[in-house]
Amino acid sequence: MSDKAMILSVILAAVLCVAVPFIFRVCRYRRRMKTLIVPDGPSGEVTVGTVPTPEAEYLARYICLLRLPFAGNKHVKIRPSYHERIREITRVIGRGDVTITAYVDKVLKAHLDDNRETIERLFEEREAVSSRQPKSEER
């Protein structure tokens, strides 16, 4: 065997060693995506032929693997017990494919969507009350 053939075979072996784990990960990811129920549209409704179970609705609403870009890095303090619980949820239910950031983002989005009318009504009431009150003069 010539030197060039040996170098080529070593390079091909190295590429193969690196590529095989990624190929298995892609196959596992595709299998998992077939079993997940993905929400249909922005409303988060699940379209399935039968009535979805609460577990299927939860997976579709919070654990479905959407890669959303985040515009900024904002830090929010949460209780350590909440952080631990969320970390366990994303690790076990999300199988390590869902980040804490993505999960919290989906939970907050669901809360804001579910309570949109109430939040808007309270916001308008409080804004109207604060606009009627005379502003205190600052010195």
Higher pLDDT, 35 or 60: 60
**pTM to 2 decimal places:** 0.54
Average pLDDT in the chain: 79
Indicate if the pLDDT at residue 105 is higher than 80.
yes
Indicate if the pLDDT at residue 11 is higher than 70.
yes
Q: How far, in Å, CA of 63 to CA of 102, rounded?
A: 9
Indicate if the pLDDT at residue 48 is higher than 60.
no
User: 75 with 83: CB under 8 angstroms?
Assistant: no
